[in-house]
């Protein structure tokens, strides 16, 4: 084992447990067939190339590197052998072993929909030996309010306002997937009452056929409603699944909104960011209320993870970058996210001979302290 691998496995000395500032639920029963399991390792909904698996990827190799040792197997065990051992151990115990091996102390769980039966946040936290906090996704609030209001536009808007206020009381942050639904090229100002009412009336008509919220006026309204609460607002940027048009997820498209919302005191967290991580780093560097993370990214980019983190630090201060896994469905993705982050951190903080004390301070900020301060979690530094 190299010195870097030892540091990743054992953790930085005196480093607090990780705060995963953006993650999702875990399946109760993870598929143990290779094809079905590997499908969770890709952002594509299409089959893999002929003669291959979705596990034939940098993320697939990362799963095989970091996860078998958590179940008592050698690193890079064949995936079918790993899944057989996983099945023999049982879903509950395997989930627990993998989640606890990640070393995560706090989970900020996106409450957006996830297909399949999942562990509630409380059970996820128990399995991980962590504390869970809720991040409320905005678009489902609007969709639920529409379903209750029917065709009554005024009732819809009133229900939505009440839903946002109730969510404020139970959440540490809001999250939007406007990048998926329309793109980030939204007008920067909040919509007028007349503009909002007209857009809501039109959308309620289409909602009867099951249409999801993609109206840019209503998406703007959601963003400004969340900003008005003062809670941090997480925004998906960068790559994702096939519903996304990548060029519309460039965080620099948010620049006018970032400027407009600044007086409201709402922190903005740019999620994932890749391949626009340098744009996100610039925004985090020049706007005090903007933060960035590389969740999802570091798991997917394999051996480039230290370089991508270092590229983000070209401009973003250490105090403006956050850790997350964006783990979704598989507990393996929590462990891979944590290990890839730890490895990238160890490599990137080597720097040009930076003093160990300075590197350790930066590691503490990224691993936990930035998130605890931003979301006002217990144990945050004053």
End-to-end Cα, the chain, rounded Å: 39
Residue 231: which residues within 8 A CB-CB, separation 6 or more? 168, 171, 172, 173, 174, 266
pLDDT of residue 209: 61
For the beta sheet containing 321-322, the strands, ordered from the edge strand earlier in sequence to the opposite edge, are 18-23, 104-110, 131-137, 173-176, 233-237, 268-272, 290-293, 321-322
Residue 294: which residues within 8 A CB-CB, separation 6 or more? 272, 273, 274, 277, 308, 309, 312, 321, 324, 341
Report d(CA 311, CA 157) in Å as an integer: 43
pLDDT of residue 229: 97
Residue located via tokens 């919220």 = 213
Contact between 62 and 302 under an 8 Å Cβ cutoff? The reply is yes
pLDDT of residue 2: 47
pLDDT of residue 350: 86
User: CA triplet 365, 277, 15: central angle to 5 degrees?
Assistant: 20
Q: What are residue 233's DSSP bridge partners?
A: 174, 268
The pair of three-digit structure tokens given for residue 130, joined into one six-digit string: 């962590």
Q: Along the chain (382 residues), what's the average pLDDT of each consecutive run of 10 residues? A: 47 79 94 93 91 94 97 97 96 96 97 83 95 97 93 95 97 97 96 96 82 93 98 97 95 98 97 98 98 96 96 97 97 98 93 88 96 92 62
pLDDT of residue 206: 82
The pTM assigned to this predicted structure is 0.94
Dihedral sign (CA 36, 42, 48, 52): negative
pLDDT of residue 21: 98
3-class secondary structure, 110:
strand
pLDDT of residue 353: 83
């Amino acid at each position: 084992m190299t010195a870097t691998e030892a540091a990743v496995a054992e953790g930085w000395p005196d480093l607090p447990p990780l705060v995963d500032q953006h993650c999702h639920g875990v399946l109760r029963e993870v598929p143990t067939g290779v094809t079905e399991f590997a499908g969770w390792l890709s952002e594509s909904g299409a089959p893999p190339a002929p003669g291959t698996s979705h596990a034939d990827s940098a993320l697939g190799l990362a799963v095989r590197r970091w996860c078998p040792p958590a179940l008592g197997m050698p690193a890079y065990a064949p995936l079918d052998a790993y899944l057989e051992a996983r099945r023999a151990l049982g879903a509950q115990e395997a989930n627990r072993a993998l989640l606890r091996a990640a070393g995560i102390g706090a989970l900020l769980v996106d409450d957006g929909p996830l297909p399949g039966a999942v562990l509630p946040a409380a059970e996820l936290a128990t399995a991980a030996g962590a504390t869970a906090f809720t991040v409320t996704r905005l678009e489902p609030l609007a969709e639920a309010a529409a379903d209750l209001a029917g065709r009554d536009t005024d009732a819809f808007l009133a229900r939505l306002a009440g839903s946002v206020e109730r969510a404020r009381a139970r959440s540490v942050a809001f999250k939007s997937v406007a990048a998926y639904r329309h793109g980030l090229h939204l007008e920067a100002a909040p919509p007028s009452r007349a503009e909002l009412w007209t857009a809501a009336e039109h959308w309620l008509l289409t909602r009867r056929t099951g249409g999801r919220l993609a109206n840019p006026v209503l998406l703007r309204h959601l963003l400004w409603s969340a900003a008005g609460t003062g809670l941090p607002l997480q925004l998906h940027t960068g790559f994702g699944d096939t519903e996304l048009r990548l060029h519309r997820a460039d965080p620099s498209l948010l620049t006018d909104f970032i400027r407009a919302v600044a007086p409201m005191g709402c922190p903005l967290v740019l999620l994932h960011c890749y391949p626009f991580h340098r744009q996100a780093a610039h925004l985090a560097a020049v706007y005090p209320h903007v933060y960035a993370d590389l969740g999802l990214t570091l798991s997917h980019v394999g051996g480039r993870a230290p370089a991508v983190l270092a590229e983000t630090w070209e401009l973003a201060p250490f105090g403006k970058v956050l850790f997350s896994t964006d783990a979704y469905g598989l507990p393996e993705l929590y462990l891979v996210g944590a290990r890839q982050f730890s490895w990238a951190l160890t490599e990137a903080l080597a720097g040009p001979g930076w003093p160990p004390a300075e590197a350790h301070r930066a590691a503490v900020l990224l691993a936990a302290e930035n998130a605890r301060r931003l979301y006002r979690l217990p144990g945050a530094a004053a």
